[in-house]
Structure 1
Amino acid sequence: MPHNLNVVLLEPEIPSNTGSIGRLCLATQSTLHLVEPLGFEITDSRLKRAGLDYWQYLNVVRHADWDAFLKTLPAGAPCVFFSKKAQRHYFEHRFAPGSYLIFGKETLGLPEDLIQQHAETAVRIPQYDDRVRSLNLSNAVSIAVYEAIRQLGV
C-alpha cells in the first residue's frame, strides 16, 4: 500500500482491543508493532476471537521494550504520538507515508515524558464531554488510521 502506515501499541493490556486493531491493520495493510510487556499472551482466546482467523496474515512485529522498538525505526521516520494530554488535535497534523502512529496502554496512555519530548508531534482526538475519560483504544486507532489514509489519498 502506498501509505505504508505503522500502528504501534505500547504495552497493550486488553487482548480484544489488540485483536480488533490487528484486524484493522490487516484491512488497511498497515503494520502492527507490539511493544512489550503485553498484558496478555498472543495465544489468548479473546485476542483470537477479536482478530478472528486473520492473525496469521497480519504483518505484526513484536519488540522487547520501547528502546528495542526505537532501534528499529528508520532514520527520520515520521512518528505521531496519540494522547488525550496532547495540546493539538489530530486534525491539525499532516500525516506522511510510512508514519508510525503510537498509542499507549489502555489504563494509562502514553508516559507523560514521552508526550513532552515529542510535543510537536503529539496529537489528541477531541472529546466533547468531560465525563468520558478516554476513547476505547481500538476506536482511537481506527480514527487515526483512516484519517491518515484520507489525507494520503489512498
Structure 2
Amino acid sequence: MRIALFEPDIAGNVGTILRTAACFGVPVDLIEPMGFPWGDRALRRAKMDYAAAGDVTRHVDWAGFLAAQARQPARLVLATTRGAVDLWDARFRPHDLLLFGSEGAGVPDHVHDRADLRVRIPMRAGFRSLNVAISAGIILSEAMRQTRGQAA
C-alpha cells in the first residue's frame, strides 16, 4: 500500500498525510510541482517528530511518477468526487497505490483516466468534498482494514 499526492497545494495537508502514513508504515509519493516550497515551516510543523519515520519519494512530474511506477507496477486507485465506486463497495489490495489530487484542482482528465479504480467517499447531499488529508485518512484506513495492513 502506498499513497501518492498529485501536485499538492497546501503544506499543512501534505504534512498531515505524511504523519498519518508514517504512523501506518505506508510510503508516500509526492508528484510535483507542489504549491509550496519543500521544507516549508508549515509542513515541518504538521509532520512534527514523525518526519524521520516517513518514507517519501518525490517525482519531478506525472511522467516521472509513471516511469517509477513502471518498475514496480501497482493498481492505481484514485480518490475522486467523480468516482464510480463508493468507498464501501471498493475492494482494496495490499499493493494498491492510493492517489489523491491537489486541493484546488483535483487531477486532470488524463490522470483521472489512468486510474484502475476510482473511489469516492459517500457524503450527504449538497456537500462537495472533504479536506484531502481527511480523505486520505479515511480511504487509507478502509484499505488497511480490508487488507489487514499487509505491506506491499
The TM-score with structure 2 as length reference comes to: 0.91
Q: Which residue among 128, 132, 154 is the counterpart of 2:124? A: 128
Q: Which residue of 1 aligns with 2:18?
A: 22
Secondary structure of residue in 1 paired with 2:105: coil
Secondary structure of residue in 1 paired with 2:30: strand
- 5+ residue gaps, structure 2: none
Pairs within 5 Å for 1:129-144: 129-130=125-126, 132-144=127-139
Secondary structure of residue in 1 paired with 2:78: strand
Pairs within 5 Å for 1:23-42: 23-42=19-38
How has the CA–CA distance of structure 1 residues 43 and 76 changed in structure 2, closer, same or farther, with 3 Å as cutoff? closer
Q: Which amino acid aligns with 1:70?
A: L
- Conserved 8 A contact 1:31-1:60: yes
Q: Which residue of 1 aligns with 2:99?
A: 102
Secondary structure of residue in 2 paired with 1:12: coil
- 5+ residue gaps, structure 1: none
Q: Which amino acid aligns with 1:41?
A: P
Q: Which residue of 1 aligns with 2:77?
A: 80
Distance of 1:59 and 1:76 partners within structure 2: 18
Return the offset for 1:75: 5.3
Q: How many residues align?
A: 148
Distance of 2:72 and 2:51 partners within structure 1: 29
Spell out structure 1 runs of 4+ moving beyond 6 A.
none
Aligned residues: CA RMSD: 1.4
Distance of 1:75 and 1:40 partners within structure 2: 28
Return the offset for 1:111: 1.4
